[in-house]
């Protein structure tokens, strides 16, 4: 079989990382996608991985040895029909990863509705600073590494473990292919309304993950009744809990904020060991992520002190509250938050850090769950920490966003031009703007920065 693999949906965060791993393994890698945008497209092109725009059938001529099919692909798309009609071997991304990369590795999988990318990045950096040379595949680009995936040089592999389905021909969650020995379940809420009818269906998939973890492994869990229900279905693995120090139910790893922005933390291990962390990140959500990463690293022998020293130099992840610039004294951040809980956590953290100045949020309800309106009842409340919450209303949205975000300072606007114009009207030096989207958002990030720079020079 040819060593050429062609990846459909290559600019997704998972598939883009997979492409880097395959290239590092010696495969010849090409790929295609639609609506290509940074940071993944930039990372792939800088690695000399050829990209094709769109899903036409011609990209499979000559036929590759294997097609790795992303979960955004479906029957009826020309490239998929050509693949099936031509009898070209194919697999899903998670299955390819499990078979070609994760065999004989101590897999540390980070799962949950929120915080997977950040926690996995923290965990990989801790293992790196401990000298363990981990491999990793993360759904974002950790700033300390500058790339989203690598093979590594040791026995450990950190993978962001998503519950989304694997492919159109494999409706199991991605993470069942990974067979972790150490598993983090940060939290569990309803999401992915396009494939899961309710929270119970997601809990079933998480229990499938639990079933795969060996008895000498470890589950690091956050709080919540949903995770309780998952483990009550059956658990054969030791469990350690992560929670804030004021959580009455926690008897495991705890964290306590030493500042309003939670950029200083006191962390306590189950054995009573203690350490303090001063770092660049903010927010209680990141405090929980850090503690979970420390607990997972402890399972492979990394001490609390080493972990804390590593996180003190952790620089965050691209698109996770990433500061893009401060044109004319207005700080502009890019954030991936696209679920009400994540939006609320990020805005609360920024508000605590910057008590002075206005906080302006520009939010795109882009995920399938948001577009279906599953979380519309929580939208107005999740943005209360912002002085202004400017919501983008996509032209094909089938419910009335404007009738929901009606509080003072909240507006629904129909174009990205209108969002930029409104942000310019209310932003003054000392303010902070956070752009919240899990997509390219019509290039709004760069356009807003340019508009602020132009205003400063006029």
Residue 45 within a domain = yes
Q: Which of 92, 114, 145 is the last residue of a domain?
A: 92
Segment 40-78, tens digit of pLDDT: 778 788 888 999 999 999 999 999 999 999 999 999 999
Task: Based on the fold, state whether residues 337 and 203 are members of the same structural domain.
Answer: no
Rounded CA-CA distance 192/187 in Å is: 15
pTM listed for this prediction: 0.84
pLDDT at 1 over 60: no
Segment 272-305, tens digit of pLDDT: 999 999 998 888 889 999 999 999 999 999 999 9
Task: Based on the fold, state whether residues 130 and 268 are members of the same structural domain.
Answer: yes
Segment 227-260, tens digit of pLDDT: 999 999 999 999 999 998 887 666 699 999 998 8
Task: Based on the fold, state whether residues 375 and 227 are members of the same structural domain.
Answer: no
Task: Based on the fold, state whether residues 106 and 88 are members of the same structural domain.
Answer: no
Task: Based on the fold, state whether residues 248 and 115 are members of the same structural domain.
Answer: yes
Task: Based on the fold, state whether residues 262 and 217 are members of the same structural domain.
Answer: yes
Instruction: Output b/e per residue, 430-457; b: 16+ Cβ within 10 A.
Output: ebbbbbbbbeebbebbeebbebbeeeee
- The average confidence (pLDDT) of the chain is 89
Q: Which of 282, 312, 342 is the last residue of a domain?
A: 312
Residue 97 within a domain = no
By the 10 Å C-beta count (0-12 exposed, 13-18 middle, 19+ buried), 256 is classed as middle
Task: Based on the fold, state whether residues 84 and 112 are members of the same structural domain.
Answer: no
% of the chain at pLDDT higher than 70? 95
pLDDT of 250 reads: 63
- Please choose, from the candidates 337, 338, 333, the residue with its C-alpha nearest in 3D space to the C-alpha of residue 322: 333
Note down the domain range covering 441.
Answer: 322-457
Q: By mean pLDDT, which of 163-167, 187-191, 217-221 is the weakest?
A: 187-191
Task: Based on the fold, state whether residues 185 and 212 are members of the same structural domain.
Answer: yes
pLDDT of 373 reads: 61
Residue predicted with more confidence, 262 or 238 = 238
Rounded CA-CA distance 107/183 in Å is: 8
Residue 317 within a domain = no
Task: Based on the fold, state whether residues 137 and 269 are members of the same structural domain.
Answer: yes
Number of domains in the chain: 3
Task: Based on the fold, state whether residues 339 and 397 are members of the same structural domain.
Answer: yes
CA of 418: how far to CAs of 320, 393, 432, 434, in Å? 24, 11, 18, 16
Task: Based on the fold, state whether residues 163 and 120 are members of the same structural domain.
Answer: yes
pLDDT at 263 over 80: yes
Residue 63 within a domain = yes
Q: Which of 312, 331, 363 is the last residue of a domain?
A: 312
Report, as an integer, the average pLDDT of 376-404.
81
By the 10 Å C-beta count (0-12 exposed, 13-18 middle, 19+ buried), 234 is classed as exposed
pLDDT of 192 reads: 72
Q: What is the CATH number of the domain that holds 62?
A: 3.40.50.720
pLDDT of 341 reads: 78
């Amino acid at each position: 079989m040819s060593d050429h693999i062609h990846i459909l949906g290559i600019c997704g965060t998972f598939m883009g990382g997979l492409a880097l791993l395959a290239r590092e393994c010696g495969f010849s890698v090409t790929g295609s996608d639609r609506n290509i945008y940074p940071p993944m497209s930039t990372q792939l092109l800088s690695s000399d991985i050829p990209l094709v725009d769109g899903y036409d059938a011609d990209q499979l001529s000559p036929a590759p040895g294997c097609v790795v099919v992303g979960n955004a692909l479906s029957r009826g798309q020309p490239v998929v029909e050509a693949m099936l009609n031509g009898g070209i071997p194919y697999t899903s991304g998670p299955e390819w990863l499990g078979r070609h990369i994760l065999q004989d590795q101590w897999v540390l999988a980070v799962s949950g509705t929120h915080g997977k990318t950040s926690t996995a990045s923290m965990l990989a950096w801790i293992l790196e600073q401990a000298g363990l040379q981990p491999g990793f595949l993360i759904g974002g680009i950790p700033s300390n590494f500058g790339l989203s995936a690598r093979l590594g040089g040791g026995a450990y592999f950190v993978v962001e473990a998503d519950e989304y389905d694997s492919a159109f021909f494999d409706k199991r969650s991605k993470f069942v292919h990974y067979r972790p020995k150490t598993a983090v379940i940060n939290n569990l809420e309803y999401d992915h309304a396009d494939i899961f009818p309710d929270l119970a269906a997601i809990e079933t998939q998480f229990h499938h993950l639990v079933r795969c973890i060996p008895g000498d492994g470890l589950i690091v869990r956050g709080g919540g009744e949903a995770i309780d229900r998952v483990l009550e279905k059956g658990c054969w693995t030791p469990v350690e809990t992560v929670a804030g120090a004021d959580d009455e139910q926690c008897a495991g790893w705890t964290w306590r904020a030493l500042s309003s922005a939670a950029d200083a933390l006191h962390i306590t291990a189950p054995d009573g060991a203690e350490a303090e962390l001063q770092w660049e990140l903010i927010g209680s959500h990141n405090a929980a992520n850090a503690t979970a990463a420390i607990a997972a690293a402890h399972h492979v022998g990394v001490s609390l002190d080493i972990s804390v020293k590593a996180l003190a130099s952790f620089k965050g992840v691209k698109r996770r509250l990433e500061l893009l610039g401060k044109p004319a004294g207005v700080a502009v951040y890019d954030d991936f938050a696209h679920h009400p809980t994540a939006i609320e956590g990020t805005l609360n953290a920024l508000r605590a850090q910057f008590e002075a100045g206005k906080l302006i949020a520009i939010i795109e309800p882009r995920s399938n769950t948001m577009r279906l309106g599953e979380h519309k009842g929580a939208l107005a409340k999740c943005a209360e920490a912002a002085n202004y919450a400017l919501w983008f209303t996509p032209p094909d949205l089938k419910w009335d966003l404007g009738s929901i975000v009606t509080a003072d300072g909240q507006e629904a606007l129909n174009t990205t031009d209108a969002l930029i114009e409104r942000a310019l009207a209310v932003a003054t030096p000392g303010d902070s703007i956070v752009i919240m989207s899990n997509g390219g958002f019509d290039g709004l990030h760069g356009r807003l920065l340019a508009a602020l720079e132009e205003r400063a020079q006029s």
